[in-house]
Amino acid sequence: MTQWTNAATGDAEAPAAFPLTSGHFRNPVLPGCHPDPSICRVGEDYYLVTSTFAWFPGVPVFHSRDLVHWRQLGHVLDRPSQLDLDGVASSDGVYAPTIRHHDGVFYLITTLVGGGGNFVVTATDPAGPWSDPHWLPETRGIDPSLFFDDDGTAWVLGTREKSEGRYPGETEVWLRRLDGLTPAGDEHVIWEAVQRRAVWSEGPHLYRIGDWYYLLTAEGGTARDHAVMIARSRHVTGPYEPDPRNPVLTHRAKGRDHPIACTGHADLVDTPAGEWWMVLLATRPYGGDFPNLGRETFLTPVTWEDGWPVVGEVTPVRRAPALAPHRWPAAPACDHFDGVRLSPVWNHLRTPREPYWSLSGGRLLLRARPETLAGRENPSLVARRQQHRDFAAHAALDFTPEGDECAGLALVQNEDFHILLVLAARGLELRVREAGAERLLARADVPPGRVHLGVEASGQDYRARYAVRPGEWRDLGGPVDGRILSSTVAGGFTGAYIGMYASSNGHPSGNSAAFDWFEYLGL
């Protein structure tokens, strides 16, 4: 299946079938696991957030001036006091945030699934700091959103399963007025699925455009039947009439050979000149139904006819918005860990309650702690998203294992599906955990001292490599079937992550693994 690159980095790897010409951009604009995008504009600046589930810090914040090139400012939920992910499953945690701006304040509302429910945080600068959560126990369900009307009235809305649903996944959209950040007044049920017996009418957002209130939703589930629906009303509390041309966007009928699938969960934004655009999640299938990249953020144009939006087809290459191109400096492919803190590209699995990592002398040190990737604790793992179908990752490791300790590279989908290339007391090992069962695929003896580790992916084939002298790479076993890192096999809502890992596998340890550098390259 064909692969395209990140418009934010400008990597020149688009195939001849999808050439990039002047005034165009490539989708997705945020590759890798960046689902459920929400966007707002403040003057000429655009800010975008996505879901993060059980990964910490939670909710990355991106900034753009042209809707195509994005830089990460940081994360909204970057303190343990803001985000308790203890014991949360990989596909629970932070769902579907919404970002809005009103009277000089940024608001973000989201759901902690498997935790405390819906909450709001605020900031005057999207780069932070953001407040501790203001919880909304008066609400239930997922995918909350905020709407600030022209008269200053604030509303909260969200989706939930019906208490007496006729079938599993039958949902409704509710709306309540806010008094400050507290829901007040009567609750209004304003929407349910458009199509007969459709599941998960979710991701609702409200907009006031002219004299109409527009309600944008998704339905059909977040896989191939995903779709975007819209309705409108003269009154914020309804009744809402559906667009007779719904769904306004879906790729459900495109077939399995189409390069982009699962389009849905969208948000609208306008430019100062009056253009309209939609950000949404979608996937780029390869090697099966769903890719290891997870659900990514795409961009597509919107025009208006007869008071309804007409959404352009989501394509690999598109005409760019009529905005001055604004590229950001490209991030280095290799992290030498010579800063005072980790780059925002790095993530931890669940909330770190202790500093198990440190930056010292241009190296990343990871403590070998008892926690493993197979549990629901916070393991010693520093990982980043896989963002390309074909990629190579390399790292330099200094580690002397004792007992059951190990350290090296990990490719992670969830607790039951991951790949390890680790140095253990028995040698360098390639291990796979599939459906909760771990097996050893290959082992090699290596001398004491530094070992270079590498993983190279070509589609769904992942090949592990190592070198005891720089440049003298050797394969460790044959290619691993990377489909175990896809949601088709592993289930869940996340894409694959790759990073550095250390564990004492259930035993106390005072040992640490040192990583001199880590490099990630899209091929």
Phi, psi (degrees; rounded to nearest 5) at 483: -65, -15
Tokens 């097996």, residue located: 439
Query: Tokens at residue 409, please?
Result: 């590279």
> How many other CB atoms are found less than 10 A from the CB of residue 255?
9
d(CA 90, CA 417): 11
d(CA 450, CA 401): 12
> How many other CB atoms are found less than 10 A from the CB of residue 236?
19
Maximum separation of any 2 CA atoms in the chain, in Å: 74
Question: Looking at 11, 36, 84, 172, which residue is catalytic?
Answer: 36
CA nearest to 26, candidates 14, 39, 38: 14
Active-site annotation holds for 36: yes
d(CA 462, CA 410): 12
Report helix, strand and coil shares of the chain as percent, to nearest 5: 0, 50, 50
Active-site annotation holds for 170: no
Handedness of CA 186, 177, 180, 141 (dihedral sign): positive
**How many angstroms separate the Cα of 375 from the Cα of each of 89, 370, 379, 431, 497?**
9, 10, 8, 16, 16
Q: Please give the full DSSP string across 237-266, using - where no structure is assigned.
A: T-PPEEPTT--SEE-TTS-TTSS-EEEEEE
Q: Are 260 and 315 in contact (CB under 8 A)?
A: yes
Query: Tokens at residue 473, please?
Result: 């790479």
Query: Tokens at residue 218, please?
Result: 């998704």
Residue type, 446: V
Q: Where does residue 322 rank: exposed (0-12), middle (13-18), buried (19+ CB within 10 A)? A: exposed
Question: Looking at 84, 92, 202, 335, which residue is catalytic?
Answer: 202
Catalytic residues: 36, 202
